Each structure stands twice: as structure tokens, then as C-alpha cells.
Amino acid sequence: MTAPLRVGLIGYGYAGQTFHAPLLGSTAGMVLSRICSSKPELVQRDWPGCMVDADPMQTLQHPEVDLVVIATPNDSHAPLATAALRAGKHVVVDKPFTLTATEAEALVALAEQQQRVLSVFHNRRWDADFLTLQHLLADGVLGEVCHVESRFDRFRPQVRERWRERAELGGGLWYDLGPHLLDQAVCLFGLPQRLQAQLHTVRPGGSRDDWAHVLLDYGSLQVELRASMLMGGGLPRFAVHGTQGSWIKHGLDVQEQQLQQGIRPGHADWGLDPVPGLLLPEGDHAQPASPRGNYPAYYAGIRDCITQGQPNPVSATSALHVMRLLERAQQSAAEGRSLPVSA
């Protein structure tokens, strides 16, 4: 039997506590051995017996850590990932990969030099609705797709005092939700030919973008990505239109909410979509079965990549493409014009 991978998690804020720790703890062949946090009592409450470090260097340099997971504020991703790779560890970084594409390029090169697995936690590839859409496109049910709307909306009218909403590089809604929207679009359709972006601050007292509209131009296909912090609901998460029909999907994947509620993978209701998408016009097609959302597949894929040489579930190169598109959109918004996209 292969010894389990020993994982060191750096950061026990929202991402570390809600996503990474529960998913790591539910993955066979992995053991969450160390957590770096400024709140040791919280870690010990949730993970009794787990070693707690105060300094991230203790975690990433520890000889009994094989994989380092970085779930810290965006500006620390690149330096921590660099240190972990140089320490000979495999690395998973929460999204966004880095602050800049230049930092991401350097990490990709370093991982290749060190011959270590480097991946980014683009978990939305395993949303139930996204998996359904992938099946629909693969089966050609919608015909030739010509227009896609993909959106993440929230209703948070009050600006919060937290790093994600401050006027600093790596803050703002586009760097928070844009990576999800871009990664899904690139997974489905590849890189666009051009993009045009509008990024605005719409909430009173806001200092960073909290509204985004980005158009990805594929020629005969147009993909609209939208996000807002002042959207109370009603509009579809996905609206996909093709020559043989449309697919409309309301509501978000439930896995994040389930993790917040303490529901763990393996529960009877895990990942079940309560609001399946609808093929239109009704009656022309059989309504598709919606697969369960499957966030656990990410860390199972990381395990198999490290121990068996299987494909990386989210390659660093694909995450680099997302970083370049994030930056290109910011440039487009600043210049007020459509810009070409290169590989």
C-alpha cells in the first residue's frame, strides 16, 4: 500500500476552513497533517490532533509535508508557492493563481525545474451545472452554439472591511469571481480571439470593482461573462443558445453551501442540484439528467497526479491562461476598447 500524502494547509480563513480542509480531510490517500493559522484554537476545534504552525515557512519546509496547499490572501500566493516549490513540495494554490501573469509564468517554470506538481484550485469545473453543460455540448444537443451568458451574482450592498474589497492589486470582484468565469469559458471553448471588458464600482463607498461585464469574442460565438455585488437574483446562472435550442440554468451549485453547513462528501444529498437546467423549446429534447457536483474529484485528481502520474486536474499552464485573460480584461476596461488575445 502507498503511504498517504501528507498535506500542509497554509491559511485557515474562509477558503481554507470552508473548502480545502474539509475536501482534503475527505480524500482517501491524503492526510491533513499541519495547518498554518493565526487561530490555533479554531483549528484544534475543527481538526483535533492536527499540528498548528504560526509561521507558513514552518509548514512548507517541514520534512513530513509532501503537498502544500496555499489558501491565503492573493498577494501571498506567489511568494509562498515559490518557497514551497524550492523546498521540494508539490503545491496547490487557491484562485487566483497569482497577482500577475508574470508571477504565474515564473511559478510554471519553477515547477518544471523542480519537477513538482503545481495546480490551481479552480473547483468550479466540478459544479453540477457546469458538468451538465459540458455533456450537452459534447453531445451536440444545442447544435452550433452562438451565444453564452455566464454569471456569478451576489447581493451585498454593504462594502465590507476586508482585503478582497480594498483598493489594492488582487482585490475586487473581477479577481474574486473572474477566475471562475474565465476558467469555465476556456475549458468549454478555448481561448477567444478578442475580449472587451467593463469593470465598475457601483456600491456607495466602494473602492474596487464590484461589477463586471466581459465579452469574449470567438467569431461566430459570443460569450458574455457577468458578475455583480448588487444583483438580488432572478437572472440565470447560464443561458446557452444554439441552432437547435437553448439551455437555461438558474441557481448556484450547492456544494459551497453544503460545506458551510458542515455537510461533507459522501452525504446522500451531496452535490445534488435542486434546480436543474431547462432545455428550450420544451418537448423538442429530452431534459438532461444533472450529474452531482463533484468538488472531491479535484483532490482525488491531485493525489493521482502525484502518486500515479495521472493528468493534473487543473494544470498550471491552464491557470496561466486565466491570469493573462484577467489582466487583458483590466487593460481593456482601462482603455475602453476591444483587445486581441494571444495564446
pLDDT digits (tens, 9 = 90+) for 245-269: 999 999 999 999 999 999 999 999 9
For residue 332, is pLDDT > 70?
yes
Exposure string for 308-318, b = 16+ CB within 10 A, e = fewer:
eeeebbbbbeb
The strand pair at 145-153 and 238-242 is best described as antiparallel
Q: Do 97 and 178 reside in the same domain of the chain?
A: no
Determine the Cα–Cα distance for residues 74 and 326; give it in Å rounded to an integer: 14
Domain boundary residue among 90, 121, 152? Answer: 121
Whichever domain contains 72, its CATH number is 3.40.50.720
Q: Do 212 and 165 reside in the same domain of the chain?
A: yes
Q: How confident is the model at residue 163 (pLDDT cuts 50, 70, 90)?
A: low
Whichever domain contains 329, its CATH number is 3.30.360.10
For residue 340, is pLDDT > 70?
yes
Q: Do 85 and 98 reside in the same domain of the chain?
A: yes
For residue 166, is pLDDT > 80?
no
Among 325, 321, 320, 303, which residue's Cα sits nearest to residue 312?
303
Judge whether 308 lies within some domain.
Answer: no
Identify the domain containing residue 20 by its residue range. 5-121
Q: Do 189 and 287 reside in the same domain of the chain?
A: yes
Judge whether 311 lies within some domain.
Answer: no
Give just the sign of the alpha carbon dihedral 103, 104, 110, 116: positive
pLDDT tens profile 175-234: 999 999 999 999 999 999 999 999 999 989 888 899 999 999 999 999 999 999 999 888
pLDDT tens profile 106-162: 999 999 999 999 999 999 999 999 999 999 999 999 999 999 999 999 888 888 776
For residue 313, is pLDDT > 60?
yes
Average pLDDT over all residues of the chain: 95
The strand pair at 51-53 and 67-70 is best described as unpaired
pLDDT tens profile 15-67: 999 999 999 999 999 999 999 999 999 999 999 989 999 999 999 999 999 99
| Alpha helix segments (H runs only) across 140-194 | 173-189
Joined together, the cell numbers standing for residue 293 give: 457536483
Determine the Cα–Cα distance for residues 180 and 182; give it in Å rounded to an integer: 6
Number of domains in the chain: 2
Determine the Cα–Cα distance for residues 101 and 322; give it in Å rounded to an integer: 9
Give just the sign of the alpha carbon dihedral 290, 295, 296, 297: positive
Q: Whole-prediction pTM value?
A: 0.95
Judge whether 307 lies within some domain.
Answer: no
